[in-house]
Structure 1
């Protein structure tokens, strides 16, 4: 009996520091690194979420935009930070999906980070110039097959989601389209609008005003369900391409080795933030739907994304030197 009591006492003593740490956290501002310059959709999402998150935690979030190296700078800064919960990263599909799949990055997207939770996701949409004689996905596929590679598509750059999504489309449909890479989504969408290129797979938020104006025609969206912004546009799965899923997602990570109790506190409060109706309204401007996910589920998701995009990049011979 005495030995059992001693074991229980020792266990309780070991748990005390962890409990105290969780109750004391956070006691100072939290640095929230965003791997893009200020002003874009990724940055807006971070500011909307952290504004509400800070109220629940009782400490301010300091948004730190680090846009260098396609997210490499932000990822390295986070990975090297103390794992105490005071440095977090808003990672996304590029930093922890497509970039590691298409180029050598100086961080391990799985081993160097602690998953906190998924924030949200936005589908991409296949759009064509209004002058393209295809009013449905099947008509576009037939047109592309007949064209013999003469149709072209724009992307936000080599190895980006807009590039890989169209390569996935080509792979699954057996079509051939000429890739024209740009430095960002804005110039790429501008050339689709002018008719210099015929198609693109941009985010719904990027394409939406041009679809509504009639300058672009939306043929299909990615994701598991139809976009609330484009309810009449079918998903790729509905059109017969099962498993075709390529979405722009955003999540929160910390450095590897964060204490479990701090991770749990951050995750629980983040889920509470994502459940607020007014947050969904705010994120709708970027066509982002809240997508709560446990730390374990997020870790599995990142591993899955890196694996699937790596397989596609290998199959399509896409490998960047940078």
Structure 2
């Protein structure tokens, strides 16, 4: 029913397209780009979204023939930077590269001054990297089954850390507890680095984070991976079962990166940007960094595939936020 409602809402919004498109100057598609192109990252420098934006920028600059400026506009769970793009002119000069928290924003921050589906147009789903659960090697857990058994034996005693309230990692663990019939205390951290440090030190029983965040510690042997939440096993974690293989069908969670434009950006401009992104991310250096450093499964989708994916993500995670009354940090 939620999907039907969202599809109906999306169809109703199509009537607003001519008004939004009219804001773009006539002939904009033919002359684009006509100056520096701005890519807004709604998070601080140093995170994975910033890294992806800066990775793709040289390839875009080469193909579009204009400077590419990456602008970090962090704050309010990504809503500040996202709002900048949602309210920008739809002329192809401003774009958004964002992260999986994009899909949680409407439920977590219900007073947003913009609408994700009305004010932003999809451009490309770049790819995704699975979330994983890991612990210090001297902890008594070696699999998801061990975690569930321990949590059943000691309700409210086996703890996990995440990168914050309402993050996909936190919501994934809520779904796991719901499905397994267990209760686990949650310790939200302000950054992935802080959460990883406490997991390595053993101050929290386990930590959920993207595979990219956890992989350096896993490779160093200071964290032991217990389960991964992707649709299939990562090459770097071939010995680690997925949640589905561990008895939880449909329990998937991936960090993902997507590109959006202000609503009404002319379709030819969106198509050209999509093609430039695909070519830039298909270069060997960029592809290797995405698959090895970010542990990403590259998708490089068309706009419509990103629209469908976002609808599904919003429906899944909004339900968890509402039913469990999750509030932003």
Q: TM-score, normalised by structure 1?
A: 0.89
Corresponding position of 2:142: 135
Corresponding position of 1:186: 193
Q: 1:101 aligns with which of 107, 118, 121?
A: 107
Structure 2 counterpart SS, 1:287 = coil
Structure 2: tracts of 5 or more residues without a match: 1-23
Structure 2 counterpart SS, 1:233 = coil
Q: Is the 8 A contact 1:110 1:302 kept in 2?
A: no
Corresponding position of 2:321: 313
Following the alignment from structure 1 to structure 2, what is the Cα–Cα distance between the partners of residues 270 and 26? Answer: 14
Structure 2 counterpart SS, 1:132 = coil
CA RMSD of aligned residues (A): 1.9
Structure 2 counterpart SS, 1:202 = strand
Pair 1:80–1:112, CA change in 2 (3 A): same
Q: Is the 8 A contact 1:280 1:289 kept in 2?
A: no
Confirm whether residue 259 of structure 1 aligns to residue 254 of structure 2. Answer: no
**Aligned-pair CA distance for 1:242:** 1.3
Larger Rg: 1
Following the alignment from structure 1 to structure 2, what is the Cα–Cα distance between the partners of residues 286 and 148? Answer: 34
Of residues 55-64 and 204-213 in structure 1, the stretch that sits farther from structure 2 once superposed is 204-213
Structure 1 counterpart SS, 2:116 = coil
Corresponding position of 2:90: 83
Moved over 6 A (4+): none
Q: TM-score, normalised by structure 2?
A: 0.87
Corresponding position of 2:7: none
**Aligned-pair CA distance for 1:100:** 2.0
Following the alignment from structure 2 to structure 1, what is the Cα–Cα distance between the partners of residues 48 and 231? Answer: 22
Following the alignment from structure 1 to structure 2, what is the Cα–Cα distance between the partners of residues 108 and 246? Answer: 24
Of residues 22-31 and 243-252 in structure 1, the stretch that sits farther from structure 2 once superposed is 22-31
**Aligned-pair CA distance for 1:19:** 10
Corresponding position of 1:43: 50
Following the alignment from structure 2 to structure 1, what is the Cα–Cα distance between the partners of residues 135 and 175? Answer: 17
Structure 2 counterpart SS, 1:67 = coil
Cα deviation 1:200-247 (Å, max 9, x = unaligned): 211112211222232221011111111122222121112221111111
Following the alignment from structure 2 to structure 1, what is the Cα–Cα distance between the partners of residues 98 and 325? Answer: 26
Q: 1:225 aligns with which of 227, 232, 257?
A: 232
Structure 1: tracts of 5 or more residues without a match: 1-16
Q: Is the 8 A contact 2:120 2:263 kept in 1?
A: yes
Q: Is the 8 A contact 1:121 1:250 kept in 2?
A: yes
Cα deviation 1:42-70 (Å, max 9, x = unaligned): 21110111211221122221111111222
Q: Is the 8 A contact 2:28 2:91 kept in 1?
A: no
Cα deviation 1:254-282 (Å, max 9, x = unaligned): 11111111111111222222322321112
